[in-house]
């Protein structure tokens, strides 16, 4: 009886240790980072693992801090709130730095810039500009800057009658093109999606007068407000990775990997 009891005890202890290592809980030895793994080349699945530019950046930050990196895949629109509430140490998901988000979390220095792109079927000749989306169905990842842009334009009447079809990731949205007329997402992700699918094409989202539909966006890593220690470490690592060209190298490297697996 005693033996059985101690076996159970050992098993329970083992399980809890295993859980600590893999259940995405926060502790002092880990750097828990939330991402959304459908956003190549910044985060995507490669050989059953989440990889990408953001993951490589956060691995370098973890090494700087002497911690173990734990990456958890969550819905994009929950990342800033989870970081705000301290559920995760940081959010790294190609997150555009915006004043409304900066009220919730603190952002690192910018490490990449992007613009809004549109994806349509390769045979489509009707949709060329933002205004052509009027009355159309647009597939968009929930809670993104693309979502906010199109929602605002529907609300102010510019895109009267248009409808947003919500998705968990741009890749999933583009894979369901028969459910909508177009997908709007960030530039590199759009370019990779169409590189992997010859039935689609992508181009910069401009207005009929040729000006961009939205301003240039910059990505930042987010941390809980006031977490200066972590933010300083992230900024230090980013400065170095940008100065020596590593981020540019990773963008190329992970774009090639994403093409390889069709991410
Ligand atoms: N940059 C966009 C945003 O912050 C999209 C990010 C993403 O889809 N992972 O909303």
- Residues 115-162: tens digit of each pLDDT: 999 999 999 999 999 999 999 999 999 999 999 999 999 999 999 999
Pair 223, 197 in one domain: no
The answer to whether residue 46 sits within a structural domain is yes
Look at residues 122, 117, 118 and name the one whose alpha carbon lies nearest to residue 197: 122
The answer to whether residue 14 sits within a structural domain is no
- What is the pLDDT averaged over residues 72-81? 97
Residue where a domain stops, chosen among 155, 177, 204: 204
Pair 122, 106 in one domain: no
Q: Provide the CATH number for the domain around residue 148.
A: 3.40.190.10
The answer to whether residue 247 sits within a structural domain is yes
The answer to whether residue 232 sits within a structural domain is yes
Q: Tell me, using a 6 A CB cutoff, whether residue 173 lines ligand 1.
A: no
User: What pLDDT digit, counting tens, does each position of 200-224 carry?
Assistant: 999 999 999 999 999 999 999 999 9
Pair 135, 182 in one domain: yes
Pair 75, 106 in one domain: yes
The answer to whether residue 221 sits within a structural domain is yes
Pair 107, 123 in one domain: no
Pair 129, 193 in one domain: yes
Query: How would residue 24 be classed by pLDDT, with cut points 50, 70 and 90?
Result: low
Domain of 126, in residue numbers: 116-204
pLDDT at 231 over 70: yes
Pair 198, 122 in one domain: yes
Q: Tell me, using a 6 A CB cutoff, whether residue 95 lines ligand 1.
A: yes
The answer to whether residue 95 sits within a structural domain is yes
Query: How would residue 38 be classed by pLDDT, with cut points 50, 70 and 90?
Result: very high
Q: What gap in Å lies between CA 51 and CA 155, rounded to an integer? A: 37
What pLDDT, on a 0 to 100 scale, did the predictor assign at position 215? 94
What pLDDT, on a 0 to 100 scale, did the predictor assign at position 13? 52
What pLDDT, on a 0 to 100 scale, did the predictor assign at position 257? 97
The answer to whether residue 78 sits within a structural domain is yes
Token duo for residue 128: 């060329």
Token duo for residue 175: 């894979």
Q: Tell me, using a 6 A CB cutoff, whether residue 40 lines ligand 1.
A: no
Pair 100, 149 in one domain: no
Give Cβ neighbours of residue 97 (< 8 Å, ≥ 6 apart). 107, 110, 217, 218, 219, 220
| Ligand 1 centroid from CA 13, angstroms | 40
| Ligand 1 centroid from CA 114, angstroms | 10
Pair 157, 78 in one domain: no
Q: Residue 112 in contact with residue 155, Cβ under 8 Å?
A: no
| Ligand 1 centroid from CA 126, angstroms | 26
Pair 173, 147 in one domain: yes
- Cα 258 from chain centroid? 14
Q: What gap in Å lies between CA 240 and CA 31, rounded to an integer? A: 20
The answer to whether residue 210 sits within a structural domain is no
Ligand 1: atom nearest CA of 95 is: 4
Q: Helix axis angle, 246-261 relative to 187-195, nearest 10°? A: 30
Pair 251, 132 in one domain: no
Q: Tell me, using a 6 A CB cutoff, whether residue 141 lines ligand 1.
A: yes
| Ligand 1 centroid from CA 144, angstroms | 5
Considering the entire predicted model, what is its pTM? 0.89
Pair 192, 132 in one domain: yes
- What is the pLDDT averaged over residues 69-80? 97
Tally the domains of the chain: 2
């Amino acid at each position: 009886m005693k033996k059985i009891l101690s076996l159970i005890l050992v098993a329970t202890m083992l399980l809890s240790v295993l859980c600590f290592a893999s259940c995405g809980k926060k502790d002092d030895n880990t750097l828990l980072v939330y991402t959304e793994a459908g956003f190549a080349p910044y985060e995507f699945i490669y050989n059953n693992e989440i990889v990408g530019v953001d993951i490589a950046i956060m691995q370098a930050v973890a090494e700087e801090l002497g911690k173990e990196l734990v990456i958890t895949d969550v819905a994009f629109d929950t990342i800033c709130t989870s970081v705000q509430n301290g559920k995760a140490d940081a959010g790294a998901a190609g997150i555009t730095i915006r004043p409304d988000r900066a009220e919730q979390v603190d952002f690192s220095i910018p490490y990449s810039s992007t613009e809004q792109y549109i994806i349509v079927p390769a045979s489509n000749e009707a949709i060329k500009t933002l205004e052509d989306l009027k009355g159309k169905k647009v597939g968009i990842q929930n809670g993104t800057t693309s979502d906010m842009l199109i929602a605002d334009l529907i609300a102010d009447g510019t895109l009267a009658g248009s409808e947003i079809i919500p998705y968990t990731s741009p890749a999933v949205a583009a894979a369901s093109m028969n459910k909508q007329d177009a997908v709007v997402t960030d530039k590199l992700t759009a370019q990779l999606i169409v590189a992997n699918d010859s039935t689609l094409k992508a181009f910069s989202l401009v207005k009929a007068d040729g000006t961009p539909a939205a301003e240039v966006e910059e990505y930042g890593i987010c941390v809980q407000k006031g977490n200066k220690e972590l933010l300083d470490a992230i900024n230090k690592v980013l400065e170095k990775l940008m100065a020596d060209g590593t981020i540019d190298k990773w963008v190329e490297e992970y774009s090639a990997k994403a093409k390889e697996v069709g991410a």
